[in-house]
């Protein structure tokens, strides 16, 4: 028998947990998460949440900064909604116990919270909990969710595919999802009155990423297979400053470090950002990432340096305790020596298209957080607007679903069929394709692109997808197989959208079309069976 619930949430980051908590006031909720409930991109968000909370700031200023960073593609109404509703979402987090750093002198700061300055922002407006903001937000939300009697969290459950009734002769409505229970190895059926994708980003599609292993674009890939509209996948943000160390995993060094005076330098110690942008080290991320990429390629260096040694050691340790300890673990004392850094894939600005309440193009299917394309980020996300987006639109989706329709009987859909599939005896195919795909995306579809590189990537991804599909139908599904299938779909969508944009804008930079085209200031939209196009 299938599991049934009012709301099925796929993902347990800030957006998924916020929706689950608020929707539980008027319905039952099941949260699917493919590993532990606290493992998501949210947990690793260092910088904070951008919101207007000071008399020295204004909504107009935050809106203007967001629009400028978005390079002409932000949806202005979306930006206005997110900015103006942001402060209430911060207070809602505080109400459930989130502990943010307080201002030492509220009168001088004209705010009760300590506010950071980050690149692209014209005022201090980034709320933080030291340099572990995401972890604190995740903690507070999880505690509140676990205390609710109407929310059931299914850990180690990996969504396989969405259930759309059109596939079984019914209306074009999303009615649930199939999910692999890793404990039993069985695929379970979950039916719901509304399905909310909150599965996060897809950083693992690239060889180097700040994202955790769970970030494989599952929501976007499943939505695409179900026929939902996807937009702006060419705009993948690369964080410019991640710790470079042969043995260390890519560890993000928050933009707030540059906001507090850290300087990017070549390996010979010379500063370089002023030669790339008049804003210097406080330029938006796309500008900084391209500058770092340029300097590394020009000099042949494996990294550049991020230097905050001119600040007092006590200030650095207090402001960035997690970064200080992590770098020290790898032999770098950031109070005394510059940090070797490189860019890495960080944030997906495109995703499943939604309206202001999270509704997608498929009835019954909603998307919130990084997997959604709300129009907030345009061609480039402004720093610390991501947690803000997840909070605002998860809240709005929960409000829109207060009166969920329970009048219809549960649909009769078939249980998962394994067909002739059997146990795998060649899992090496997964490993090979996984490594090849991610390296291919890094080399051909990274920070700087070209028409010929995109064509090569497109041809090779098509061949990889054929191999993956053959394996998928031949063997029992596993999490590794499902994740590989999903990142291959995401890779295809990124390349397809990038090929359709014959200009450089925001995060999409191509050497064949190095300038922006005013006529191309439109979203790139793609749908299963319909080629990507500007709309």
Burial of residue 436 (CB within 10 Å: 0-12, 13-18, 19+) is middle
> From edge to edge, which strands make up the β-sheet containing 115-116?
49-50, 126-127, 115-116
Tokens for 253, please give them.
Answer: 């060094």
Q: Is the dihedral of CA 459, 460, 464, 465 positive or negative?
A: negative
Contacts of 5 (CB under 8 A, 6+ apart): 27, 28, 29, 30, 152, 190, 191, 192, 193
Give the span between the Cα atoms of 161 and 60, in whole angstroms.
41
Among the listed residues 477, 474, 491, the one whose alpha carbon sits nearest the alpha carbon of residue 434:
491
Contacts of 464 (CB under 8 A, 6+ apart): 433, 436, 437, 488
Whether 285 sits among the annotated catalytic residues: the reply is yes
Catalytic residue, chosen from 124, 193, 250, 285, is 285
DSSP of 36-100 = -TT-SGGGG--S-EE---STT--HHHHHHHHHHHTTT---HHHHHHHHHHHHHHHHHHHHTT--P
Give the span between the Cα atoms of 212 and 252, in whole angstroms.
11
CA dist 211 → 158, 237, 283, 481, 491 (Å): 18, 12, 22, 19, 16
Tokens for 374, please give them.
Answer: 């709300």
Contacts of 389 (CB under 8 A, 6+ apart): 15, 82, 369, 372, 374, 376, 377
Among the listed residues 15, 54, 60, 57, the one whose alpha carbon sits nearest the alpha carbon of residue 33:
15
Tokens for 453, please give them.
Answer: 């590189």
Give the span between the Cα atoms of 135 and 45, in whole angstroms.
7
Among the listed residues 56, 137, 385, 123, the one whose alpha carbon sits nearest the alpha carbon of residue 259:
123
Contacts of 92 (CB under 8 A, 6+ apart): 391, 395
Give the span between the Cα atoms of 211 and 209, in whole angstroms.
5
Point out the residues that are catalytic.
285
């Amino acid at each position: 028998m299938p599991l049934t619930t009012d709301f099925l949430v796929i993902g347990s980051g800030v957006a998924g947990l916020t929706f689950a908590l608020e929707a539980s006031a008027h319905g039952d909720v099941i949260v699917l998460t493919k590993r532990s409930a606290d493992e998501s991109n949210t947990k690793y968000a260092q910088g904070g949440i951008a919101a207007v909370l000071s008399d020295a700031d204004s909504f107009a200023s935050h809106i203007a900064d967001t629009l400028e960073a978005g390079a002409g593609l932000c949806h202005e109404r979306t930006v206005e909604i997110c900015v103006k509703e942001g402060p209430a979402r911060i207070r809602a987090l505080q109400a459930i116990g989130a502990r943010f750093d307080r201002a030492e002198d509220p009168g001088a700061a004209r705010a009760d919270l300590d506010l950071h300055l980050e690149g692209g922002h014209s005022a201090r407006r980034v709320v933080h909990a030291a340099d572990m903001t995401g972890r604190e937000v995740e903690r507070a939300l999880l505690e509140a969710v676990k205390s609710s009697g109407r929310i059931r969290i299914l850990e180690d459950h990996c969504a396989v595919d969405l259930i759309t009734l059109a596939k079984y002769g019914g209306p074009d409505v999303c009615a649930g999802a199939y999910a692999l229970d890793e404990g039993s190895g069985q695929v379970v059926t979950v039916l719901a009155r509304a399905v909310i994708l909150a599965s996060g980003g897809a950083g693992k599609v690239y060889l180097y990423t700040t994202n955790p292993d769970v970030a494989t674009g599952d929501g976007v890939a499943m939505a695409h297979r179900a026929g939902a509209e996807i937009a702006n996948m060419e705009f993948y943000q690369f964080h410019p400053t991640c710790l470079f160390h042969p043995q260390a995993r890519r560890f993000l060094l928050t933009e707030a470090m540059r906001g507090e005076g850290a300087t990017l330098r070549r390996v010979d110690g010379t500063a370089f950002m002023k030669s790339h942008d008049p804003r210097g080290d406080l330029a938006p991320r796309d500008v900084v990432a391209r500058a770092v990429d340029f300097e590394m390629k020009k000099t042949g260096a494996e990294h550049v340096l991020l230097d905050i040694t001119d600040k007092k050691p006590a200030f650095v340790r207090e402001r960035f305790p997690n970064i200080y300890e992590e770098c020290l673990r790898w032999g770098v004392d950031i109070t005394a020596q510059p940090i070797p850094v490189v860019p890495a894939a960080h944030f997906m600005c495109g995703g499943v298209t939604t309206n202001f309440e999270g509704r997608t193009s498929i009835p019954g299917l909603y998307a919130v957080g990084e997997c959604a394309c709300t129009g907030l980020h345009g061609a480039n996300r402004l720093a610390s607007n991501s947690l803000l987006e997840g909070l605002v639109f998860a809240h709005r989706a929960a409000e829109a679903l207060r009166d969920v329709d329970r009048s219809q009987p549960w649909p009769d859909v078939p249980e998962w069929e394994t067909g002739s599939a059997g146990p795998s005896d060649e899992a090496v195919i997964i490993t090979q394709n996984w490594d090849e795909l991610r390296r291919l995306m890094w080399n051909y579809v990274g920070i700087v692109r070209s028409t010929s590189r995109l064509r090569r990537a497109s041809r090779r991804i098509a061949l990889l997808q054929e191999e993956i599909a053959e394996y998928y139908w031949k063997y029992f599904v596993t999490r590794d197989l499902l994740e590989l299938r999903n990142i291959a779909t995401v890779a295809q969508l990124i390349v397809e959208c990038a090929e359709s944009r014959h200009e450089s804008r925001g995060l999409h930079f191509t050497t064949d079309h190095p300038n922006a085209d005013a006529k191309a200031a439109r979203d790139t939209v793609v749908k299963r069976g319909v080629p990507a196009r500007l709309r």
